[in-house]
Amino acid sequence: MSNLLDLLVAGLATGAIYALVAVGFTLLWQTSQTINFAQGEFVMLPAFLMLAVMHAGAPFWLAIILGILLSLLLLGLGFKLLLVDPMLRHGVLPLAIATMALAIGMKEAVKQFFSAEASPFPSIVPAGDVSILGRVISLQSLGVLALAIAVVIGLTLLLNRTSIGHQMQATAQNPTVARIIGVPVERMILLTFLINAFLVALASLLITPIYLAKFSSGEVLGQAAFIAAIVGGFNQVRGAIAGGLLIGVVDNLAAAYVSTQYRAAVPMVLLIVIILFRPQGLLGRPEERTV
């Protein structure tokens, strides 16, 4: 029983990171029909950007700031201007394929210009344990969970309580009408790309200390986020959050109680079951937009 609690906390911590990545994923889908197959690599890259800045001699805090800024520039603005904008008019599929090519390119670039080996990455949460109600819980899990929850709450507030958030939602739901009533649709779409870049940079910062910085680490993460987004509801931000947490917990429980060999299978089976019985996802609405 006590073991279960540890697993739940660890699962929620990983799940919160998955949620950050999945939220970015659904935001891109909603505002610009971009299925980003490079989302996992988007999480892999910022850690290497930060490591590169640190190798140049900068302190960790500066590396974090510069890393996030570079991510906004490359993964937000650059991704939108150089790949999504020219491809968008061609439809969903060519763009999705182009992001697959982008994923290969990013992996290879990091492997070639940085290292093929896994590099350690400093944690922003100090190591150690705290004891809560007589249970010993690692500070890292707790810190990750707290930070991720703070970001998710901030994002939800931004989307639901501010004018910009409402304009973004309008853009996502019906760009034509949004444009008619005076929403700067283009700017809102750019903003979602920047938010996605910020979220993946943050996820990178949180998850890399746990799994090390490696060029191929995006594969598993991207898939987890993808599944989280579908399980939770492809067209809902809160669906992506719920999906992320669920996949994180299920993944951790499966590793402990099913088998380590088939741990990766459990989220997949969950995905298939969800598609069979609730195709719009746990919290999603039935699809309003045809693809």
Partner 1 sequence: MTINGKYWRIALGIAVIAALIIVPMNFNRYGLYILSQWAVMTIAAMGLNLTLGYAGQVSLAQGAFVGIGAYTAAIMTTQGLPLIAALGVAIVLCFAIGWILGYPALRVQHHYLAFVTLAFSTLAFLVFRNEDWLTKGIYGISGIPRPNVLGFATNRPLPFYYFCLGSLAIVSLAMWWLIRSPWGRAFVALRENPVRALSLGIDTRRYTLMAFAIGSALGGVAGTLYAPLTQYIDPVPFNLSLSLDLLMMVIVGGSGFFFGPFLGAMIAVLLPEWLRFTQGYYLMLYAVAVMLLLIYSPTGILGILDRYLAERRTKAASALRAVAKSRLETAP
Chain residues binding partner 1 by CB under 8 A are 37, 83, 86-87, 90-91, 93-94, 96-98, 100-102, 104-105, 108-109, 111-112, 219, 223, 226-227, 230, 261-262, 264-265, 268-269, 271-272, 275-276, 279, 287, 291
Q: Under the phi-then-psi rule, with left for phi > 0, alpha for psi from -120 to 50, and beta for the rest, what region is 281?
A: left
The residue among 117 and 287 lying less far from partner 1, judged by its C-beta, is 287
Q: In this structure, are residues 73 and 12 in contact, taking their beta carbons and an 8 Å threshold?
A: no
Q: b/e per residue, 169-208, with b = 16+ CB within 10 A?
A: bbbbeebeebeeeebebeebbbbbbbbbbbbbbbbbbbbb
Q: Which two tokens stand for residue 15?
A: 């799940």
> Greatest CA separation found in the chain?
58
Least distance CB 98 / partner 1 (angstroms): 5
Q: Give the shortest CB-105-to-partner 1 separation in angstroms.
A: 3
Comparison of 166 and 278: residue with beta carbon closer to partner 1 = 278
- Smallest distance, partner 1 to C-beta of residue 243, A: 13
Nearer Cβ to partner 1 (163/290): 290
Q: CB of 44: closest distance to partner 1 in angstroms?
A: 15
Q: How far is the CB of 68 from partner 1 (least distance, A)?
A: 25
CB closer to partner 1 out of 89 and 163: 89
Nearer CB in complex with partner 1: 177/220: 220
From first CA to last CA, the distance across the chain in angstroms is: 45
From the CB of residue 239, how many other CB atoms can be counted at a distance below 10 Å?
Answer: 25
Phi, psi torsion values for 204, nearest 5 degrees: -60, -45
